[in-house]
DNA sequence: GCAATATGTGACAACGATGTCAAAAATCCT
DNA sequence: AGGATTTTTGACATCGTTGTCACATATTGC
């Protein structure tokens, strides 16, 4: 027989299905000897509970949804991997749901996966963790959800984040410490709320060092390689070009780096470039890019923990402070002493 | 009431649940007027069938598994995205399952998802689509499965592939057409069966042009950026260095490109570099890398189609010829005329 | 107009687990 | 020892859908 059911196990072990169920789910009130006997039979028969039957009957789905804007990005891949492995440890499953806000029916897709799959919880990645319309969908359906690096205080939602402000400040201090005074900032898009926090950190560090920010050297990209290319060109062709560029993600930093290369500006000798994210591209560049390591996988794993942890399911969920995970400054070869200094 | 069941719809429409079921599943034998009436009620009540109940009852799970070696790679992301979107169109769901052959219990994980989730089908990405032990797991469980770009003729399994041999041949011909005679080949790892086919294509083109292959310039990497870096260094430091390097994937091509840059060798003026894959890195490099566009998302989508198509479920599944999807030569800036020519 | 066939429709029993609750067994008290 | 607990166990209903099969209603052919 190909498919082993709980009844088969029960029959073989000489107990009722319910008792087998108890053993499987690690519940109390089973005599140790019986528990062992059942476990032996489970192993013998190689029995695996049918996830659907279990979900149907228990009204828990053992399914978590990961809602992502752009599932092809490296950021998404890291987040997904972190969530996936933790789900596996907890014997949950993960369903990845791309959310394309440009499509008119994106809400239907989300509602569909919520109700049809009866998700036990949702993880919402940036930048869509800041889309109120989306979050409301989870609220309405009463689905516990954790936001990764959201903008504000997420009332009623769980949240996991890193200290974007502090990290940007550290990076800026690193550049200042190398003697740089004229530092450009390549901002991220307004839609990513982390952008604003990184800018804050940058300005805080500059202010603390008593350096005035050159406002014409604070420009805004869209986190794409291409925008880094374009903004780098604008920035580096100026007569009084900055001696360092801090880009708010690695793809843009790479764009700046390559522009410098095209223009014959040596990095890091004539120009320092810093990124943010520790994406694969920052290591596959030459020179390798100094950056901030974001705990992407760790944040996702923590989000899984929060959702799976029964204590989170209580009513006072929203009152818990957002979990803050540590980042790290990764100094590589694209940043060096200021030539003028 | 928060949860709408099929009974609610049936009651409101004045028919039996079974009839509603028929409408939902697009079955025959429902009078058009009734069908419409039911559909109206479904829309009104915003009813979504409970996926678990449906699966339990019908013994179809509407779930496909995607088995991937390294879920963080860009290749995986593209494959996953292609599969995901097609699944959505077909109203299936996708479960991503990382398979880490280094972990002793990888088989358990796979078996677990097969039996516990009752997968309707499996998609197996390279390189693990060539792992017989894994494929046997699907055979034993009688799970329809489609391999993406497998090595040999997959007896009993479905397959979707591209013409690696032809593509490599085209790329080599492109280089030869630019006047190159001394062309290096940076091979992929033996574990990736596509590697061998790409080498074949390379040799075929060279032979057809009557050019002898410099065997010392045929080296093997592991598809990583780092290996491209190292092999590039070995290749380009030789006295009689090749005028063109054809790397079997973009990451390695990027490694070669960056080595050339370090050594002060101008690309494409003094050296042409070609890649394979059309990964993001090939576009985020400078100069942008000439490469082969692999139909990654398309292969994945086709795999979904095959699995969902009932005709595939018939016994003669294996007899169908593997589906071949078109690639494209993408000429960008890293390849140019041979300087010596 | 009356069999013989199609075509709709619904009752009912699965699917394989868990929740509830009551019965049975073991343990604890004087 | 015997009643009061506590712990362990299983019968049975249930989750929300679909498969099966029988029935009711149209359609066809002669």
B275 and B170 within one domain: yes
- In this structure, the protein residues whose CB atom falls closer than 7 angstroms to any atom of nucleic acid strand C are A 3, 5-7, 17-18, 20-21, 24-25, 47, 49-50, 53-54, 56-58; B 14-19, 22, 28-31, 34, 53, 56-57, 59
Distance A58 CA to D6 C1' (A): 27
CB nearest A61 (choices: B52, B258, B281): B52
Of the pLDDT bands very low, low, confident and very high (cuts 50, 70, 90), residue B316 is very low
Number of domains in chain B: 3
Task: State mean pLDDT over B67-77.
Answer: 94
Q: Give the angle B59-B61-B63 at the CA atoms, nearest 5°.
A: 160
Distance B31 CA to D28 C1' (A): 19
pLDDT for residue A67 is more than 90? yes
B184 and B122 within one domain: no
Residue-wise pLDDT tens digits, B271-309: 999 999 999 999 998 899 999 999 999 999 999 999 998
B251 in A contact zone (CB under 8 Å) = yes
CB nearest B50 (choices: A48, A116, A251): A116
Write out the residue range of the structural domain in which residue A173 sits.
Answer: 164-294
Distance A42 CA to D8 C1' (A): 20
- A18 Cβ neighbours under 8 A, 6+ residues apart: none
A222 and A306 within one domain: no
A107 and A222 within one domain: no
pLDDT for residue A18 is more than 80? yes
B158 and B304 within one domain: yes
Strand order in the sheet with B323-325: A323-325, A158-162, A145-148, A121-124, A63-68, A93-98, B93-98, B63-68, B121-124, B145-148, B158-162, B323-325
Residue-wise pLDDT tens digits, B216-274: 999 999 999 999 999 999 999 999 999 999 999 999 999 999 999 989 999 999 999 99
The whole-angstrom separation of Cα B308 and Cα B144 is 10
pLDDT for residue B45 is more than 90? yes
Q: What residues 142-161 of chain A have any CB closer than 8 A to a CB of chain B?
A: 142
The whole-angstrom separation of Cα B74 and Cα A280 is 10
Residue-wise pLDDT tens digits, B115-167: 999 999 999 999 999 999 999 999 999 999 999 999 877 677 899 999 999 99
Residue B332 lies in a domain: no
Residue B142 lies in a domain: yes
A48/B251 CB distance under 8 A? no
B288 and B168 within one domain: yes
B93/A94 CB distance under 8 A? no
Average pLDDT score over chain A = 93
Q: Which residue of A has its CA nearest to B260?
A: A286
Task: State mean pLDDT over A214-222.
Answer: 97
A77/B78 CB distance under 8 A? no
Task: State mean pLDDT over A122-132.
Answer: 94
Taking CB atoms and an 8 Å cutoff, what residues of chain B touch A251? 284
Residue B336 lies in a domain: no
A110 and A23 within one domain: no
The residue among B203, B177, B162, B195 whose CA lies nearest residue B290 is B177
B147 and B36 within one domain: no
Task: State mean pLDDT over A101-115.
Answer: 93
User: What's the CATH number where A10 sits?
Assistant: 1.10.260.40
C-alpha torsion sign, points A123, A125, A129, A134: negative
The whole-angstrom separation of Cα B67 and Cα B96 is 6
Would you state the structure tokens that stand for residue B187, as one six-digit string?
Answer: 């091979």
Of the pLDDT bands very low, low, confident and very high (cuts 50, 70, 90), residue B312 is low
A312 and A288 within one domain: no
Q: Which residue of B has its CA nearest to A97?
A: B84
B78/A72 CB distance under 8 A? yes
The whole-angstrom separation of Cα B234 and Cα B256 is 10
pLDDT for residue B320 is more than 70? no
Q: How far is B196 from chain A (nearest CA, A)?
A: 26
CB nearest B96 (choices: A55, A84, A261): A84
Which of the nucleotides lies closest to B3 (Cα–C1')? D16
DSSP for B193-241, please give it.
Answer: HHHHHHHHHHHHHHHHTT----GGGEEE--SSHHHHHHHHHHHHTSTT-
The whole-angstrom separation of Cα A45 and Cα B205 is 55
B35 and B157 within one domain: no
Residue B339 lies in a domain: no
A332 in B contact zone (CB under 8 Å) = no
A274 and A176 within one domain: yes
Residue A141 lies in a domain: yes
For residue A295, report the phi and psi dihedrals to the nearest 5 degrees: -80, 70
Of the pLDDT bands very low, low, confident and very high (cuts 50, 70, 90), residue B314 is very low
pLDDT for residue A304 is more than 70? yes
pLDDT for residue A236 is more than 60? yes
Of A100-104, A115-119, A316-320, B86-90, least confident by mean pLDDT is A316-320
Average pLDDT score over chain B = 93
Q: How far is A217 from chain B (nearest CA, A)?
A: 23
Residue B119 lies in a domain: yes
Task: State mean pLDDT over B3-25.
Answer: 95
B175 and B156 within one domain: no
Of the pLDDT bands very low, low, confident and very high (cuts 50, 70, 90), residue A309 is confident
Residue B118 lies in a domain: yes
Q: How far is A317 from chain B (nearest CA, A)?
A: 21
Q: What residues 85-114 of chain B have any CB closer than 8 A to a CB of chain A?
A: 85, 88, 93-96, 98, 109, 111-113
Residue-wise pLDDT tens digits, A264-291: 999 999 999 999 999 999 999 889 999 9
Of the pLDDT bands very low, low, confident and very high (cuts 50, 70, 90), residue A37 is very high
User: What's the CATH number where B284 sits?
Assistant: 3.40.50.2300
Residue A54 lies in a domain: no
Q: How far is B315 from chain A (nearest CA, A)?
A: 18
């Amino acid at each position: 027989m190909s498919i082993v059911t709980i009844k088969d196990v029960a029959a073989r072990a000489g107990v009722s299905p319910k008792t087998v169920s108890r053993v499987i789910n690690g519940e109390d009130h089973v005599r140790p000897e019986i528990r062992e006997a059942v476990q032996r039979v489970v192993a013998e028969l190689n029995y695996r509970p049918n996830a659907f039957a279990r979900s149907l009957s228990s009204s828990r789905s053992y399914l978590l949804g990961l809602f992502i804007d752009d599932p092809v990005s490296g950021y998404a891949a890291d987040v997904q991997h972190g969530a996936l492995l933790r789900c596996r440890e907890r014997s949950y499953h993960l369903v990845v749901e791309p959310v394309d806000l440009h499509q008119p029916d994106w809400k239907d897709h989300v509602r569909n996966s919520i109700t049809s799959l009866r998700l036990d919880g949702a993880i919402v990645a940036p930048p869509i963790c800041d889309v109120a319309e989306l979050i409301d969908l989870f609220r309405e359906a009463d689905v516990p959800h954790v936001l990764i690096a959201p903008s504000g205080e997420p009332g009623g939602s769980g949240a996991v984040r890193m200290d974007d402000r502090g990290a940007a400040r550290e990076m800026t201090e690193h550049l200042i410490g190398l003697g740089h005074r004229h530092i450009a900032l390549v901002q991220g898009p307004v839609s990513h709320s982390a952008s604003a926090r990184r800018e804050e950190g940058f300005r805080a560090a500059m202010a603390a060092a008593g350096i005035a920010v050159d406002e014409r050297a604070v420009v805004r990209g869209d986190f794409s390689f291409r925008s880094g290319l374009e903004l780098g060109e604008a920035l580096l062709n100026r007569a009084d070009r900055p001696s360092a560029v801090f880009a708010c993600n690695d793809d843009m930093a790479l764009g700046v780096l390559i522009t410098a290369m095209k223009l014959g500006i040596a990095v890091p000798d004539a120009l320092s470039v810093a990124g943010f994210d520790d994406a694969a591209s920052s290591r596959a560049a030459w020179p390798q890019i100094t950056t901030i390591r974001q705990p992407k996988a760790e944040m996702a794993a923590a989000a899984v923990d929060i959702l799976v942890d029964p204590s989170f399911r209580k009513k006072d969920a929203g009152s818990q402070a957002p979990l803050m995970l540590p980042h790290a400054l990764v100094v590589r070869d694209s940043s060096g002493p200021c030539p003028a200094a």
